[in-house]
Amino acid sequence: MNDSIEIEYKTMLTQSEYLQLIAYYQLNSSHFVTQTNLYFDTSVYQLKEKNMGLRVRVFDTEAEATLKIPQKIGLLEVTDKITQAEADEAVKTKQFPQSAQHISDVLKSETIETEELQLIGRLVTRRAELVITEGKLALDENWYQDQHDFELELEVQDSGKNESDFFALLNQFNIPYRPAKNKIVRAVTMRK
Mean pLDDT, rounded, for 159-169: 80
pLDDT at 50 over 60: yes
Structural domain range at position 139:
2-189
Contact 47, 54 (CB under 8 A): yes
| pLDDT of amino acid 191 | 47
| pLDDT of amino acid 27 | 97
pLDDT tens digit string along 97-131?
988 989 999 999 999 999 999 999 999 999 999 99
Share of the chain above pLDDT 70, in %: 93
Indicate the number of domains in the chain: 1
Per-residue pLDDT band at 192 (split at 50, 70, 90): very low
pLDDT tens digit string along 24-45?
999 999 999 999 999 999 999 9
pLDDT at 86 over 80: yes
* CATH classification of the domain holding 155: 2.40.320.10
Share of the chain above pLDDT 90, in %: 72
Does the pTM exceed 0.75? yes
